[in-house]
Amino acid sequence: MKKEIQKRFKLNVDRVHNLVKIYTDHVSGEGKGRRSHHATDVLRAATVMLHASLEDVLRSLAYWKLPNAKPEILEKISLVGEQNTKSIHLGILAKHRGKTVDDLINESTNASLERSNYNNTKEVVAILESCGINPKGLEKYMSKLDEAMKRRHHIVHRADVNLEPKPGRGNHKVDTIAPAKLNGWILNTEQFIAEVLKRA
């Protein structure tokens, strides 16, 4: 399973690198100065794809590890088709006749993960801990992960609009983004994922 996750992450992050290369080789143009948001939208797409690549690893780890998690982790997950994690009676279990306990745990964890997303480093740490992966020592990656996640959120939910544009030359309605910044986020994410998968 780990090799499959690594392989898919490499495929996804290569797509991110490719978007940055498309920008630098074909879109950015010559000379200095700020590029139009039409040109830099390729980098915004790369930022969103980078986050998707990270989420895919976290979700894949959870699909793999959560069914075998400790009882105190599993008790936070609702039985498949139910909303309440606390009250399970025989009438509810009757709907699942013929299934093993393992079947029910797998179905329930999978159903909960279909709705999952990871929008900040607190959520990242929580899912790692739920999967039995100790986050100690991963703090060095969190600042850049948080920065990239916040930017992705701003792109997806606000179209990267500059909410406080100032008058005058050089101030624009869309926030600036540059390959150097994005490449820093990519490298940080690659190093973070490599370290996480070592511990998985």
**pLDDT tens-digit readout, 106-138:** 777 777 777 778 999 999 999 999 999 999 999
Q: Domain count for the chain, please give it.
A: 1
Domain housing 72: 2-199
Whether this prediction's pTM lies above 0.95 is answered by: no
- Render pLDDT for 128-164 as a digit per residue (tens, 0 to 9): 999 999 999 999 999 999 999 999 999 999 999 887 7
Percent of the chain scoring above 90 in pLDDT: 58
Q: How many CB atoms lie within 10 A of CB 14?
A: 10
Average pLDDT over residues 37-49: 91
pLDDT at residue 94 in the model: 73
